[in-house]
């Protein structure tokens, strides 16, 4: 039975390897942090981590760990249920309230992941009479969510408000319209032009959905995301996000926004109705996260300082950096092979990064993506820049 299919898979896998696109997973043997140890052939190796979404350095935060431990002791390990049957504890409701307070929204619904939040967002709300106008560089989970919905699809060029307006004009043919965009685009680090998007939404009678996965905790003076950056707190109908990046780095996703939208998702959103509740300990650590981030601005300030410091040093060293308004710093190398050689050489220097090339980024746009964290020390950032300069000279990227 399996023989033919096995042969087929083996060939496909070989094809992926031959194209140099096979993903090998590197094994970390410490908690996730700015300094980690990875397993290597010659034994474990200390590296400085520049490729986690651990923007606020909360992935190994003692207060979050303690909150999780305590709640596991008081409320057990798992829920063994979806929310609407018997999977809701007070902890889940408290976390939803904390998220609503953080974003200034009316209500929040939790999911197992933001992938689920986006996957289950559009189909319950819109029909074939409606339209979704989606940024071309939106995350895979938004693309999949749009695919699961029967609404008419329009796509506009990344962050291009003129193109968005063209699509909105066409979408006047439909009953309701929603513009869907990432808050920060994770390959470049640019933010969406939410102010202009919001203006166009008003002009063309559209709703707006923003995925704040890479922007919440990061963007805006106090890290409240793109709605803070553009002074649009409480104005956007739908925000989705993850607890898996800046907000602790564990798991969990959410949709937050207008009350009736959230209510309808609780009734009809399939990943919510048919998938397990997040464990109480994760919800408790989530509550602690929002408590920390509203207690003071230490982590957000440190992240902004660190990002500014790193990007300035890299530009001064002569690297070609994509314009960024986030904690993502795309070091442009353009050539795919060079990006892989560069990343490997950096790893030799104890700097942990990933090189991205086609099809993850456009053809001829290969790069190394650096993600800065509040957890990085000055010394770690300096070592990172020094290693980039050393490898850059060796590989003739810098003169």
Residues that bind ligand PLP (CB under 6 A): 113-115, 118, 139, 141, 182, 186, 211, 213-214, 242, 244, 253
Helix axis angle for 280-295 and 298-316, nearest 10°, is 80
Judging by DSSP bridges, how do beta strands 351-352 and 43-49 pair with one another? parallel
Q: What are phi and psi of 277, to 5 degrees?
A: -70, 150
245 catalytic? Reply is: yes
Minimum CB distance to ligand PLP, residue 160 (Å):
18
C-alpha closest to that of 289 among 73, 63, 83, 84: 63
Q: Which of 92, 139, 224, 245 is catalytic?
A: 245
Minimum CB distance to ligand PLP, residue 228 (Å):
17
**Within 251-297, where are the H helices?**
259-268, 270-273, 280-295
Whose Cβ is closer to ligand PLP: residue 115's or residue 319's? 115
Whose Cβ is closer to ligand PLP: residue 105's or residue 213's? 213
E strand or H helix that includes residue 133: strand 131-135
Tokens (6 digits) for 194: 């939410």
Whose Cβ is closer to ligand PLP: residue 28's or residue 389's? 28
**Within 76-192, where are the H helices?**
83-86, 90-103, 114-119, 140-147, 161-170
Whose Cβ is closer to ligand PLP: residue 33's or residue 326's? 326
Q: Which of 33, 186, 275, 326 is catalytic?
A: 186
390 catalytic? Reply is: no
Helix axis angle for 378-394 and 298-316, nearest 10°, is 20
Whose Cβ is closer to ligand PLP: residue 98's or residue 385's? 98
139 catalytic? Reply is: no
Minimum CB distance to ligand PLP, residue 137 (Å):
10
Q: Which of 100, 141, 213, 214 is catalytic?
A: 214
Minimum CB distance to ligand PLP, residue 395 (Å):
29
According to DSSP, the residues that pair with 177 across neighbouring strands are 131
Q: Give the count of beta carbons closer than 10 Å to the beta carbon of residue 241.
A: 29
**Cβ pair 158, 137 in contact under 8 A:** yes
Give the CA distances from residue 19 to residues 15, 23, 360, in Å, rounded to whole numbers and listed in that order: 6, 11, 13
Minimum CB distance to ligand PLP, residue 244 (Å):
4
Q: Looking at the annotation, which residues are catalytic?
A: 186, 214, 245
């Amino acid at each position: 039975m399996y023989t033919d299919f096995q042969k087929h898979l083996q060939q496909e896998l070989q094809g992926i390897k031959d194209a140099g696109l096979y993903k090998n997973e590197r094994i970390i043997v410490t908690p996730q942090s700015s300094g980690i140890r990875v397993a290597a052939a010659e034994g474990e190796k200390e590296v400085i981590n520049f490729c986690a979404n651990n923007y606020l350095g909360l992935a190994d935060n003692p207060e979050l760990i303690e909150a999780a431990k305590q709640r596991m002791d008081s409320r057990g390990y798992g829920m063994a249920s979806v929310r609407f049957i018997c999977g809701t504890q007070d902890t889940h409701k408290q976390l939803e309230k904390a998220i609503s307070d953080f974003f200034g929204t009316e209500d929040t619904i939790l999911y197992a992941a933001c992938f689920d939040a986006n996957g289950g967002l559009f189909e319950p709300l819109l029909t074939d009479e409606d339209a979704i106008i989606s940024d071309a560089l939106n995350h895979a989970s938004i693309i999949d969510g749009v695919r699961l919905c029967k609404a008419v699809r329009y796509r506009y060029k990344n962050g291009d408000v003129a193109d968005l307006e063209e699509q909105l004009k066409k979408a006047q043919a439909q009953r309701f319209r929603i513009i869907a965009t990432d808050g920060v685009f994770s390959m470049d680090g640019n933010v969406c032009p939410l102010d202009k998007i919001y203006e166009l939404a008003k002009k063309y009678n559209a709703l707006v959905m923003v995925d704040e996965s890479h922007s919440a905790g990061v963007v805006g003076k106090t890290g409240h995301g793109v709605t803070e950056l553009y002074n649009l707190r409480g104005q956007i109908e739908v925000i989705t996000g993850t607890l898996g990046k800046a907000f602790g780095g564990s798991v969990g996703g959410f949709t937050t926004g207008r009350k009736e939208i959230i209510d309808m998702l609780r009734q009809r959103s399939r990943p919510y109705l048919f998938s397990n509740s997040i464990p109480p300990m994760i919800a408790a650590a989530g509550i602690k996260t929002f408590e920390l981030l509203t207690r003071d601005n230490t982590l957000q300030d440190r992240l902004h300082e660190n990002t500014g410091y790193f990007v300035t040093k890299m530009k001064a060293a002569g690297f070609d950096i994509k314009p960024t308004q986030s904690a993502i710093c795309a070091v442009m190398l353009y050539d795919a092979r060079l990006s892989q050689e560069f990343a490997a050489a950096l790893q030799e220097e104890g700097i942990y990064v990933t090189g991205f090339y086609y099809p993850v980024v456009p053809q001829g746009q290969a790069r190394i993506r650096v993600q800065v964290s509040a957890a990085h020390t000055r010394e770690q950032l300096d070592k990172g820049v020094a290693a980039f300069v050393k490898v850059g000279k060796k590989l003739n990227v810098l003169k």
